[in-house]
Amino acid sequence: MSPRIVGYSLHMLPSHFRKALETYLKNGALQKVGEIEWITIKTRGNDSPVHKSQTNPEDKEDVISVRIQPKDGSRACTHHVYANGTGTMNIGDKREYSTIAERRE
């Protein structure tokens, strides 16, 4: 069963980020936090959630921020999801768990 998505509508995301989020939820997020209860697609007001990282100004790629609540009741945390389906939880994390061949070290 897919996690419940709240906040910004999944269907309003640009198609490449919608696919990237679906990939990340099935791969990276699942590997990092286990089963997922819900996610919030974060945005500032009604603006698009696609942005540059404010927590890591050295990262120049577009991301979306999602808050992920694990089913096990542990603390929800924010992940950055990249257009290629990889993602990070913390500054310095390796972008990983994409189902496509390109990976960043």
> What pLDDT, on the 0 to 100 scale, is given for residue 1?
58
> What pLDDT, on the 0 to 100 scale, is given for residue 70?
93
| Contacts of 35 by beta carbon, 8 Å cutoff, 6+ apart | 70, 71, 72
- Segment 53-84, tens digit of pLDDT: 887 788 889 999 999 999 999 999 999 999 99
> What pLDDT, on the 0 to 100 scale, is given for residue 46?
66
| Contacts of 44 by beta carbon, 8 Å cutoff, 6+ apart | none
